[in-house]
Amino acid sequence: MLNDVQRILILAPHPDDAEFGVGGTISKLVDMGKEVHVAVFSDCEKSTPAGFHVGVIEEELMQSMAFMGIPETQIHMHRYEVRLFPQLRQEILERMIELKRQVQPDLVFLPSSSDMHQDHATIHNEGIRAFKHQNILGYEMPWNNFKFQSYMYVKLEEKHIGKKIDAINIYKSQAHRPYSADEFVRSLATIRGIQINTAFAESFEAIRLIHH
């Protein structure tokens, strides 16, 4: 499937969601010469941990994206207040429709249908409305998922997982979160790889796949 798409848009409710959910696949897509766009809907200033300056999370995001090979012109930054996305549903939908016109993606990644975080659920629900005529895959975030339907897999190499881990480690402000641990990221990729008889993989919920 990845061979058949050229422009990819990743909808990330918060900084680092794209890296956690799609990081290995981003690395593979960049290696393939694809045009990868990342839309981030909050700078998470209200979630800045003690001991870090306000704005550090957005700074880490830009550093991570540059490391992953995403040009600044392909990063679409928005500043909706964290945890209030449901109240801003219509405004977020309208922004997504603008993104659709601007990027014209062949494939969209967004949070899965089983993601229980209120901001992630809003991005999922509005994303499938805005991009209903595009291919849509839901990415996995085990700490937010009560269940996850792994119907689509992307085979990855060691270099892709290494890139994902290094990108996540750029977020020093988030290093206290258990799911930031290198061992967890690598273990999940190993589990998904074993399921399709390869070394590493990321799995996705198949929401809409359109074959021409």
Q: Residue 10 sits in a domain of what CATH number?
A: 3.40.50.10320
From the list 153, 132, 133, 130, the residue with the least C-alpha distance to 206 is 153
> CA–CA separation, 43 vs 162, rounded Å?
25
Whole-angstrom CA distances from 29 to 1, 23, 57, 65, 181 are: 11, 10, 24, 13, 24
Say what the pLDDT of residue 124 is. 98
Q: Provide CB contacts within 8 A for 111, sequence distance 6+.
A: 11, 13, 17, 21, 117, 120, 121, 123, 124, 127, 138, 139, 141, 144
Cβ–Cβ under 8 Å, residues 55 and 174: no
Q: Which amino acid is at 79?
A: R
Question: Burial, 74: exposed, middle or buried (Cβ in 10 Å; 0-12, 13-18, 19+)?
Answer: middle
How far apart, in whole angstroms, are the C-alpha atoms of residue 125 and residue 111? 9
CB atoms within 10 A of CB 208: 15
Its domain, for residue 28, covers 2-208
Q: Would you call 210 helix, strand, or coil by DSSP?
A: coil
pLDDT at residue 179 in the model: 95
**Separation of alpha carbons 15 and 10, rounded Å:** 12
**pLDDT tens, the chain, 212 aa long:** 899 999 999 999 999 999 999 999 999 999 999 999 999 999 999 899 999 999 999 999 999 999 999 999 999 999 999 999 999 999 999 999 999 999 999 999 999 999 999 999 999 999 999 999 999 999 999 999 989 998 999 999 999 999 999 999 999 999 999 999 999 999 999 999 999 999 999 999 999 999 87
Cα separation, 184 vs 153, in Å, equals 18
- Total structural domains within the chain: 1
Spatial neighbors of 204 by CB under 8 A, at least 6 apart, are 109, 112, 137, 138, 139, 140, 150, 151, 152, 153, 154
